[in-house]
Amino acid sequence: MNRSLFIIFLTIALDAMGIGLVFPILPALLQDISPSHHTALYIGLLGSLYAAMQFIFSPILGTLSDRLGRRPILLLSLAGSVLNYLLLTFSHSFMLLLIGRIVAGMSSANMSVASAYLIDISVPEQRTKYFGLSSAMFGAGFVIGPVLGGLLGEYWLRLPFLVAALLSAINLLLAYFALPESGKALSSQPLCLTLNPFKAFQSLHNMPGVLPLMATFFIFSATGEAYAVCWALWGHAAFQWNGFWTGLSLGMFGLCQMLVQAFVPQHASKRFGNRNTVLIGMGCTGIALSIMALAQQGWIIFAIMPVFALGSIGTPALQALASQKVAAGQHGQFQGMVTSTVSLAAMCAPLFFSTLYFQLQSSWPGAIWLSVIALYLLALPVVLQAIQPDPATD
């Protein structure tokens, strides 16, 4: 792995780690800053604010990277990450914590720039592999983050943020001294920035065949929110899992998914093609969800984890397909819209799935997974349109 890839993957892992780092210690941190009975409300506010900042700023950073280069925008966002963690380390008021999460959401929007950088330095045949490794690094960071936050938080509540600030600062220095520009010519299109993320999507009419792809990214991201919202509730209702078993099941799923995304997508894409790989991923997810809905014993869930994790091979293949439909000078802008779409799904889908689970939990908790399959089936025509062969790029 060359140094550019190492720095990009490190950036992605640290972004994910920063998301997960907050989970185990945020309730205690809020109580430390401002003792209140409204901790759950504050956690929801901070989470929504983080997603909203990603939604707004992902297209902006992506567009800026098309015009000004990937390197300066990555450096700026990494500096923002350092600032965010320092604010979290030394914040003694809810307002400072709020500002920290705003900065975190803005700087974590650099995922769009990192993805565009990977496209710049790769040929089409490598992109499924690189996007798979990117997803694996994100998964690794998301697994490490909560563990690190929980362990370090036992010594000092703010120590996880200080360690994250140091790691981000090291990453910033590495990028400053060792990360070259991607070498792609900058876009000559006029620079028009807006804080209205919906207006940024107006440029889709200049990208033929891309709208169904964006809809597919939204569908995949939205259905993924069902796991975050319902997994713990369903595990307790179906198998009487406590916190340990819930955490163990999620940890095993994260590990299986990380290994699958690191090693499988490039081989699946080479053997079956990107389009068939997307459909195979959806099929594996559907099989796993069907078994989960009907399972009567908890060990079955652990047994099907490899099949469930194989469902994740579709996303890198979809990203590789999308990269072939977008002009070179628009990759940053497009990846920004993808990240923004994912953030929009994270804002909308949890309410839908939590409401649906509330209606189903008394009669059949596992039915929530059948609802995910139903959404996949309803969205299948859109997915098939998104991945249909393009004579210009195939």
The pLDDT tens digits of the residues spanning 280-311 come to 999 999 999 999 999 999 999 999 999 999 99
**Residue 217 CB partners (closer than 8 Å, separation 6+):** 318, 322, 338, 341, 342
Q: How confident is the model at residue 391 (pLDDT cuts 50, 70, 90)?
A: very low
Please answer whether residues 145 and 108 qualify as being in contact, where contact means their C-beta atoms are separated by less than 8 angstroms. no
Residue 394 has pLDDT above 60, yes or no: no
Q: How confident is the model at residue 33 (pLDDT cuts 50, 70, 90)?
A: confident
What is the average pLDDT across 26-46?
Answer: 74
Burial class of residue 362 in the structure, from the number of CB atoms within 10 Å of its CB (0-12 exposed, 13-18 middle, 19+ buried): exposed
Question: How many other C-beta atoms are found inside a 10 Å radius of the C-beta of residue 377?
Answer: 11
Integer CA distances (angstroms), 28 to 50, 227, 313, in order: 19, 24, 37
Residue 314 has pLDDT above 90, yes or no: no
**Residue 319 CB partners (closer than 8 Å, separation 6+):** 115, 127, 128, 131, 338
Give the closest residue to 325 by CA, choosing from 217, 207, 184, 185: 207
Return the pLDDT at 328: 67
Question: Does the global pTM surpass 0.75?
Answer: no
**Residue 124 CB partners (closer than 8 Å, separation 6+):** 320, 323, 324, 393
Which of 17-26, 52-61, 165-174 is the least confident region? 17-26
Give the closest residue to 366 by CA, choosing from 291, 308, 285, 309: 291
What is the average pLDDT across 250-257?
Answer: 82
Residue 60 has pLDDT above 50, yes or no: yes
Give the closest residue to 191 by CA, choosing from 343, 332, 339, 340: 332
d(CA 267, CA 263): 8
Is the model more confident about 303 or about 221?
Answer: 303
Please answer whether residues 140 and 13 qualify as being in contact, where contact means their C-beta atoms are separated by less than 8 angstroms. yes
What is the average pLDDT across 365-372?
Answer: 92
Which of 15-19, 67-71, 144-148, 187-191 is the least confident region? 187-191
What is the average pLDDT across 68-89?
Answer: 90
Return the pLDDT at 393: 42
Give the closest residue to 290 by CA, choosing from 371, 359, 354: 371
Return the pLDDT at 301: 94
Q: How confident is the model at residue 392 (pLDDT cuts 50, 70, 90)?
A: very low
Of the ranges 32-36, 42-46, 149-153, the best mean pLDDT one: 149-153
Which of 89-103, 161-175, 334-348, 369-383 is the least confident region? 334-348
